[in-house]
């Protein structure tokens, strides 16, 4: 199974929104094979809590404007690991230290990487 065109479109919109707020180390993984509930994980890092919060809020704003409802949001108050669930796309915005600790790329290393068109 592969990610749907809509989930890929949302991934690119979210990546561009994250990039506009100086997100670092953007990685998108097609998790549609092992996970029946979502198509793509987008991972991004922020340098500090205000940066993580700004990245997450920009993604919410841009995807909402594109008609993608935010189904669930976790961690925005602490801004260490923010999870944004848009259904076919789940965005993880990490503080850079927490990203290294949880290492989701390692956990999902068998999933194909979705090419992104922003500077990563």
- pLDDT digits over 62-105, tens only? 999 999 999 999 999 999 999 999 999 999 999 999 999 999 99
In order of their start, the domains of the chain are 5-114 (3.30.460.10)
Mean pLDDT of the chain: 95
- Quick check: 120 pLDDT over 90? no
Q: Would you state the pLDDT for residue 28?
A: 97
pLDDT of residue 117: 84
Q: What predicted TM-score, i.e. pTM, was given to this entire model? A: 0.94
* 3-class secondary structure per residue, the chain: CCCCHHHHHHHHHHHHHHHHCCCEEEEEEECCCCCCCCCEEEEEEECCHHHHHHHHHHHHHHHHHCCCCCCEEECCCCCCEEEEECCCEEEEEEEHHHHHHHCHHHHCCCCCEECCCCCC
pLDDT of residue 118: 75
């Amino acid at each position: 199974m592969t990610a749907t065109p809509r989930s890929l479109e949302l991934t690119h919109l979210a990546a561009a929104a994250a990039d506009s707020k100086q997100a670092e180390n953007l990685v998108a993984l097609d998790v549609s094979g092992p996970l029946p509930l979502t198509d793509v994980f987008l991972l991004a890092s922020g340098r500090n809590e205000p940066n993580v919060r700004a990245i997450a809020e920009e993604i919410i704003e841009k995807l909402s404007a594109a008609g993608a409802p935010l189904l669930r949001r976790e961690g925005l108050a602490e801004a260490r690991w923010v999870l944004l669930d848009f259904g076919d796309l789940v965005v993880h915005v990490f503080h850079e230290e927490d990203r290294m600790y949880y290492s989701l790329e390692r956990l999902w290393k068998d999933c194909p990487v979705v090419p992104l068109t922003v500077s990563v």
